Structure 1
């Protein structure tokens, strides 16, 4: 095949007809525009629509593209207040389409790519942010033992381990010498706050385009993209969400830098943090800049991984090289916080 992301539709259809109850061909397949890390496809059949997420082909970084973990967390959260798609089948037989994949339900709704929410009136935007923060708080309140996820990750020393992990991922994907990344790699371990509070389930990529909302209603229908989820410190999700709002307007991931949020009807960072703390019964958050700096560092490492895959011809999106070039600027934004 000329395109390494293609696969044999007939082989996949025969497999799914056996393993996904109610799914019968013919199947038409359309790739979603998103899904930098794990290519994602819409499957349309006579009986309904489904979503398939697969690992990309080629050599993969260790622990990356863990679609099996995504499937597990979706299945575990099905009976909780956290809205997710239904996990239908995990295929670990790489002979079917060339890599691991899973199938989940298709959740119809609205997805917003711009945190400024230009599709909505100023008066409506705040309610959508409220729904996001309420969903975050609900996620962090999930009893991981009750849903069978107590072994989903090593909960202790979360940030220390994450710094080691993303440093290793960055080194494995490194193509250039980025002075800002070297500064963060040196500073973050030396300033890691003492862990306190009960570890929770952490989403790992909590930004507005990873949510499907009910059409016309400020209510989350499904939380998407659980590849980076694990057990750890819930402040990682909160800081990551606020970090995304600090990003510049131009770029693969749009931010709100330079915009007057009050005029937009979008809450400021202080209001978002205050709402989260209120919902979870937290008095205050110390060392906030550490959590933000870590978020920029981790996103820079992810961007570097995308760049490496693009150079190797294994990226899942035509804009992968543009994403990869964000590594340096993201690291510099992290340095400015320290």
Structure 2
């Protein structure tokens, strides 16, 4: 059975012709639970392994899912202290593919992208992975933008306002129904936006499923899925990590339930670890947590819309439902109330 989204013969020939030692036949297998850019494991006849990325199938929103931009970012981070895969090649040759493709090195390790994976880890390993997350964020936020050539990656205007404008527009283009709390939260977030004092690299989608951890000690070997990377307030990434870090006491379930298992640190411990490892003031973490939950609900709505429009985009777990998205929105409202935003 061929891998959906790629011409295996054409892409296989491209991989062989790159001169990276790939020996035909080349095989492709869809991997991960990604429901945005599609990711494939690439293997050759000798056991060589690589990873291939392409945009999702069907109609795409403008500026979304830009794997060529992602290639630029990851190429710029080679040689820095940020753990990332090695970039191998990129192509948009119409003889090879109908959409841009990025080939990168394979990083061996454990991706904690399901509760079943987390259940196979000891409580000590879960805690080690959890505490490595905010520390790794600090490494990303410490990148010297000018020295790596990323100072022009995105606007330098206040990040919160840019995010509210962008994702409000994405909601209007991808929504499957009307939800009053989305606009209510957008207004409250705009009114409560903290003043931006710092501009750093922002991953934009930092959570357990987007890091590859060591099988030996739980350290982070690579941070992946940089398609939402931009420049902005570093606390935005901390807020995203909190949004993707449910606790057992949260009223609504949802995706990314791995962090509810014993051993994983609490959200408060993540914030404390980030503050200690970076020396940054984290007093606005509640604001960024709220904004991240609001944004997550809009992303999930877009994923649901793409799956409805083209069944081939559906991830292995079936993807988000309206009930799940409503639960994320409810968490955003509760967090906004606790932070004094609503």
Partners of 1:318 and 1:206 in 2: CA distance: 19
Closer, same or farther: CA 172–231 of 1 in aligned 2, 3 Å = same
Cα distance in 2 for partners of 1:150, 1:144 equals 5
Q: Deviations over 1:198-250 (max 9, x none)?
A: x1111111111211112222221111111111111111111111121126685
8 Å Cα contact 1:181-1:332 kept in structure 2: no
Three-state SS of the structure 1 residue aligned to 2:36 is coil
CA deviation string 1:29-62 (max 9, x = no partner): 1111422101110110034111100012221011
What does 1:213-252 correspond to in 2, within 5 Å? 213-246=213-246, 250-252=253-255
Q: How does 1:116-265 map to 2 (within 5 A)?
A: 117-197=118-198, 199-246=199-246, 250-254=253-257, 256=259, 264-265=262-263
Contact 1:20 1:88 in 2 (8 A): no
| In structure 2, distance between residues paired with 1:168 and 1:182 | 11
Taking only aligned residues, the RMSD between alpha carbons, in angstroms, comes to 2.3
Report the secondary structure of 2:245's partner residue: helix
- 2:86: which partner in 1? 86
TM-score normalised by structure 2 residue count: 0.89
Alpha-carbon distance between aligned partners in 1 of 2:288 and 2:174, rounded to the nearest angstrom: 23
Q: Does the aligned pair in 1 maintain the 2:4–2:312 contact within 8 Å?
A: no
CA–CA distance in structure 1, aligned partners of residues 151 and 186 of structure 2: 29
The separation in 1 between residues aligned to 2:223 and 2:283, in whole angstroms, is 28
SS of the counterpart of 1:103? strand
Offset at residue 328 of structure 1 (A): 2.3
Asked if residue 46 in structure 1 is aligned to residue 49 in structure 2, the reply is no
Deviations 1:51-102 (A, max 9, x none): 1000122210111111112111111111011111111111122442221110
Report what 2:271 is aligned to: 273
Q: Where do 1:12-27 residues align within 5 Å? A: 12-19=11-18, 21-27=20-26
Distance 1:223 1:20 in 2: 26
Aligned residue number for residue 107 of structure 1: 107
Q: Do the aligned partners of residues 44 and 321 (structure 1) sit closer, same or farther apart at CA in structure 2, a change above 3 Å counting?
A: closer
Moved more, 17-26 or 214-223: 17-26
* Paired residues of 1:30 and 1:42 also in contact (CA < 8 A): yes
Kept in 2, the 8 Å contact 1:307–1:321? The answer is no
TM-score after normalising by structure 1 = 0.90
| CA deviation vs aligned residue, 1:95-128 (integer Å, no higher than 9, x gap) | 4222111000111111112579322222333222
Any idea what the Cα deviations from partners look like across 1:246-275, whole Å, max 9, x if unmatched?
26685333254xx5x7xx233222222121
Q: Distance in 1 between matches of 2:206 and 2:293?
A: 13
Q: Distance in 1 between matches of 2:255 and 2:7?
A: 31
Structure 1: runs of 5+ lacking an equivalent? none
Q: Which moved more, 1:146-155 or 1:247-256?
A: 247-256
The 1:137/1:200 distance shift into structure 2, 3 A limit, reads same
Q: Distance in 2 between matches of 1:40 and 1:336?
A: 34
1:76 corresponds in structure 2 to 76
The match for 2:335 among 315, 334, 337 is 337
8 Å contact kept, 1:57–1:314: no
Q: Distance in 1 between matches of 2:15 and 2:127?
A: 41
Structure 2 residues not aligned, in runs of 5+: 337-342
